[in-house]
Structure 1
Amino acid sequence: MRTRTRLTTIGVLAGLGVLTAAGPAAAHVEVSADKTRAGAANVTLTFHGEAENPSGIRSERVVLPEGIAPADVTAVKVPSGWTFTPNADGFVVGGKALPSGRDAEWKVKVRKLPDGETRLSFKTLETYADGEISRWIEIQEKGEDEPEHPAPLITLKPGPAAAPATSSAAPAPASSSVPSPVVTSPVPATIQAEPAAEADEGSSTWWIWVVVALVVVAGGVGFLLSRRRTTPPPAE
């Protein structure tokens, strides 16, 4: 009987030990989105950090996934007394430690989610008033078991496929069997008149030479006649 009681006590204590060890890992920082499609614009992300330390949560540092720049994130709502501060790889919300056992919730707006990404992990470091830091930074791979300290994850639907580019060039006109008319330049009037002018010039020069020849011949005949009249007859 004592042996049975002892075994029962040991089993209960062992069970409590397992639950105690699993306690911190059971707390998570989670994130959800009001738009769950890749490439969506003006998306509100809601983060929820569970309190696992009685000293109270003092701050939450979020590392943004690739494709989201710190400048594209703005605060929507943070716990009372907390502030939102962008940094090189994300942002920090924090301030006065929350009451013991109170979860932290904050909302931010992202200008645009990355195109082509369906799994976005937001590594988060949760700091408590006593200096303890819970690191929720392990990436949850698709199809694998959840790691011990998973980073907050949102899964997205694929964005719309990009529309094919259209050419602005006008379509080529359909070919026609009728040949295009050949346009010939009219010959200028001056060029057309040149052959006629040359013909007239050639026909008008021959009679000039005839007149000159006649004048020369007539002159020669007259000269001979005048010599015959003036020359005395030879002496007998």
Structure 2
Amino acid sequence: MSTGPVRGAVEALLFVAGEPLPASRMAQILGVSEAVVRKALEELAQACRAPGRGIELVEVAGGWQLVTRPEYSRAVEELLQPRRQALSRAALETLAIIAYRQPVTRAEIEAIRGVQSDAGLRALLERGLVREVGRKEAPGRPILYGTTPLFLQQFGLRDLSELPPPSTFAAGAGPGPEQPAGAGDTATPSGSHPDAEPQPGTPPVPRAAS
């Protein structure tokens, strides 16, 4: 394959993936070297920067993904708004604690918040933003929780080292404005729930390559 066909194939893979796709995986699928794939990614990223393009190529959560450009977030949110209700403030507070203190137990979360966190934790587990990562070596061996690759993806982070200061995270609300190309079920602001906090559209972190 020459660079042109590889670039087209890479774009097709990224479009249908709906989640970050590592360069190594694309190279394996296409039967070319990772260096060739990375060259194609550079060319595709450059092409997406052209004026009038609605998507861009970003490196996030250990892979590459096509996402909608931030300036079109309002239109995207309008389309996706009815799909899913926003997380409550309690869930967002719980998510912030897990993000910065992981691995952490439910009891530790509740000690920090001062209230029970069952509902918020359950919502985060259902959304796939957090997961069980083990058990603490303590009486009862309580479950430890941590964030998932989906958390990195929705917040536009390559890894946890890119987390902003906790105060910035708390002041924000949820995933950034860009949506995966071809994805129609990403969380969006509902604006109707009494405890609702903004989701996509109010980025809590600087958009670091995402």
TM-score range, shorter chain: under 0.3
Q: Which has the higher strand share?
A: 1
Q: Which is bigger in relative contact order (C-alpha 8 A, separation at least 6)? A: 2
Q: What's the TM-score, normalizing by structure 2? A: 0.22
The structure number with the bigger radius of gyration is: 1
Q: Which has the higher helix share?
A: 2
Q: What's the TM-score, normalizing by structure 1? A: 0.20
